[in-house]
Amino acid sequence: MTDKTFQIAVLPGDGIGIEVMEAAIEVLDRLVARMGGFQLAYEHHRAGAELYRETGTDLPDSVWKACEEADAILFGAMGLPDVRYPDGTEIAPQLRLRLDLDLYAGVRPVRALPGTRLPLADPRAAEIDFVLVREQSEGWFYGRYHPDVGPRSTRDEAYDIGRITRAGSVRLFDFAFRLAEKRRARSPKKGRVTCVDKANVHRSLALFHQVFWDCAKGHAHIASDHCYVDAMSLNLIRKPWEYDVLATENQFGDILSDLGAALIGGMGMAPSGDVGDAHGLFQPAHGTAPDIAGKGLANPTAMILSAAMMLDWLGERHGLPQCVEAAALLEHAVDRAFASGRIVTPEFGGKDGTAAVTRAVLETLGTR
């Protein structure tokens, strides 16, 4: 039987997006050669702020189409502080892809890697392993997606429109409960969904909150609870190891995922996936980091772990256990590279940059 070949649209983007993407592709090539059972066919595309500066287009139609047709999208990072749309906002084609491809669930795993020196002194910090599931089609980003909706802003008065719908919340929570089920199957310590909102203040979030409890009834075998976002900001510093799946509104998810990244060492350690019912886009949680771009200092771990998330998603979606296994193998290789103490990246006080991390992961991939 011939191997299944997945078409992957590769969009490295700008700044360190290009550097970490190269690292991830090198690692994926080694992994696929080792595993067998499936192949990855990459199609590289230019998109982002540099392209916008040169041509006035950040996401050409042909690239949009390639993303729509691909089995998955691997995305580096896009945007540069000095390149802006006419309305002053930063170039962010990822927002368009999120909306057009209906990538409603932003999946942001926050897992402490073995051997890393974490900012929290409590030894339980080594057990940090939760996933933020961020709603991405509405919430407080709704006004950015639909700038013509709502009252008009003036020079002296500005409005942002937030929107929560029952349907948008139901699909988010169902996604979160399914994820908790999957995590419980992999570890008996897991299997809980916590709704994070501000239902005590905003009507929209009171609806979000109500829908959560309605959905929880349909998933009674999974534990469920609730926390206001302000209290969650406190708890994620005091006891992040207690959480499993956090389901939250768009903007709160955006903010808490940076907090989550800080808990495990920084943006270079935080992978993510933007997932819908028909498409998946996988990218590190970080931006283009112009301050370190071109210096070989970018930590590719987040990008490599995002590639592992892509394999897991593809494998589950297409019923291909080798692909799910490859994802686990890659995660394990990254863990072992850090656990061995051979690599210490700048976030952890060391000097190992992109090439050193890539080399260490390639080495551990080659050994059991």
Min separation Cβ 350 and ligand ATP, Å: 12
Q: Which of 137, 288, 358, 364 binds ligand ATP (CB under 6 A)?
A: 288
Smaller CB separation from ligand ATP, 194 or 345: 345
- Calculate the alpha carbon distances from 23 to 177, 181, 238, 360 in Å: 33, 32, 34, 11
Residue among 80, 289, 304, 360 that touches ligand ATP (CB under 6 A):
289
Of 199-207, 239-247, 282-290, 311-319, the segment contacting ligand ATP by CB under 6 A is 282-290
Is the CB of 146 or the CB of 295 nearer to ligand ATP?
295
Residue 267 touches ligand ATP, criterion: CB under 6 A: yes
How many residues sit in the footprint of ligand ATP (CB under 6 A)?
A: 15
CB of 49 to ligand ATP, least distance (A): 10
Q: Is 271 a residue that touches ligand ATP (CB under 6 A)?
A: no
Residue 156 in the binding site for ligand ATP (CB under 6 A)? no
| Binding flag, residue 49, ligand ATP (CB under 6 A) | no
Residue nearest to ligand ATP (CB): 287
Candidate ranges 34-42, 203-211, 225-233, 295-303; the one touching ligand ATP (CB under 6 A): 295-303
Q: Are 252 and 197 in contact (CB under 8 A)?
A: yes
Binding to ligand ATP by residue 136, rule CB under 6 A? no
* Amino acid, res. 363: E
| Beta-strand relationship, 271-275 and 280-284 | antiparallel
Residue 4 or 342 with smaller CB distance to ligand ATP: 342
Q: Does 360 bind ligand ATP (CB under 6 A)?
A: no
Kindly state whether residue 93 participates in binding ligand ATP, applying the rule CB under 6 A: no
CA distances, 156 to each of 148, 152, 153, 159 (Å): 18, 11, 8, 10
**Closest distance of CB 5 from ligand ATP, Å:** 29
* Residue 80 touches ligand ATP, criterion: CB under 6 A: no
Q: Is 298 in the site for ligand ATP (CB under 6 A)?
A: yes
Nearest to 26 by CA among 367, 322, 304, 368: 304
Which residues are CB-contacts of 159 (< 8 A; sequence separation ≥ 6)? 143, 150, 151, 152, 153
> Judged by CB under 6 A, which stretch of 148-156, 164-172, 210-218, 284-292 contacts ligand ATP?
284-292
287 binds ligand ATP (CB under 6 A): yes
By CB under 6 A, tell whether 268 contacts ligand ATP: yes
Contacting residue, 8, 9, 16, 63, with ligand ATP by CB under 6 A: 16
Of 286, 310, 361, 365, the one binding ligand ATP by CB under 6 A: 286
- 79 makes contact with ligand ATP (CB under 6 A): yes
Sheet of 129-135: strand order equals: 38-44, 4-13, 72-77, 280-284, 271-275, 105-111, 129-135, 245-248, 192-197, 223-228
Q: Where along the sequence are the contacts to ligand ATP (CB under 6 A)?
A: 16, 20, 79, 266-268, 286-289, 291-292, 298-299, 302
